[in-house]
Amino acid sequence: MIPGLVIRPMSGADIPEILALETESPAWSGSQFAGEMSQTIGWQYVAASSALLGYICGRSVLDEAEIVKIAVKRDARRTGVATRLLVYSLEKVFQKGVRTCYLEVRSSNTAARSFYEKNDFVVTGVRKNYYVSPREDAVMMAKALG
Ligand SMILES: CC(C)(COP(=O)(O)OP(=O)(O)OC[C@H]1O[C@@H](n2cnc3c(N)ncnc32)[C@H](O)[C@@H]1OP(=O)(O)O)[C@@H](O)C(=O)NCCC(=O)NCCS
């Protein structure tokens, strides 16, 4: 638990701090985050205490949502930050009618897969060679909300 952690909507002013935390390969650019924020179907939240510690981006259409990005600052991991972001986001989209949330994750990303499983996502399939650099399968996961 991080004292004083709050979840709030992402703003353009957060982008420099977010880019400093982007560790995934390939990392998103500032314009990709700005693009997400300009989407009417998109939703984005950040977790912050004295500094920004994590962020989540997703999209919703009717009763379905998809998580397209979630990341936590390395030295703040395993303290529940991603769980707070996920629970908060899924409560928000549930209130707007979403009943199923989907995502894709690299098959080698054991931390993320464990995180999603702990949060009741189940594997629904595999997309062979979905990712490039390095080429890798995507594991598709879903969670029923409510
Ligand atoms: C995946 C990620 C977002 C998890 O963030 P986090 O804030 O560390 O997650 P939490 O602290 O909320 O973890 C909740 C639970 O998930 C599981 N979990 C999280 N990280 C784990 C790891 N490295 N190994 C095994 N289980 C893990 C554990 O069950 C954990 O509970 P516990 O700490 O009580 O054992 C983080 O590792 C990250 O930013 N990774 C890089 C970006 C990324 O891969 N994003 C996902 C792309 S699909």
pLDDT at 82: 98
Structure tokens at 54: 């994590």
Q: Is residue 57 part of a domain?
A: yes
Q: Does 25 score more than 70 pLDDT? A: no
Structural domain includes residue 1 = no
pLDDT band per the 50, 70, 90 thresholds, residue 3: confident
Range of the domain at 61: 6-144
> Residue holding tokens 């949330």?
101
Tell me whether residue 96 is in a domain: yes
Whether 108 lines ligand 1, by a CB cut-off of 6 Å, is: no
With cut-offs at 50, 70 and 90, classify the pLDDT of residue 31. very high
Query: Domains in the chain: how many in total?
Result: 1
Q: In what order do the strands lie in the sheet with 52-61?
A: 6-9, 42-48, 52-61, 64-72, 100-106, 136-144, 122-131
Question: What is the per-residue pLDDT for 24?
Answer: 73
- How far apart are the CA of 99 and the centre of ligand 1, in A? 23
CATH of residue 62's domain is 3.40.630.30
Q: Does the pLDDT at position 2 exceed 90? A: no
Give the pLDDT score at 26.
74
Residue 25 lies in a domain: yes
Summarised one tens digit per residue, pLDDT across range 40-86 is: 999 999 999 999 999 999 999 999 999 999 999 999 999 999 999 99
For the chain, the average pLDDT equals: 95
Token reading at 121: 């996502």
Distance of CA 61 from the midpoint of ligand 1 (Å): 26
Cα 114 to middle of ligand 1, angstroms: 7
Decide if 21 is inside a domain.
Answer: yes
Q: What integer pLDDT is reported at residue 115 of this predicted model?
A: 98
Answer yes or no: is the C-beta of 87 below 6 A from any ligand 1 atom.
no
What is the position in ligand 1's atom list of the atom closest to the CA of 116? 16
Reported as a single tens digit per residue, the pLDDT across 119-141 is 999 999 999 999 988 899 999 99
| Residue 123, domain member (yes or no) | yes
Question: How high is the pLDDT of residue 102?
Answer: 98
Closest CA to 8 of 107, 121, 84: 84
* For ligand 1, mutation pick of 77, 102, 137 (most atoms within 8 Å of CB): 77
φ and ψ of 34, to 5 deg = -60, -40
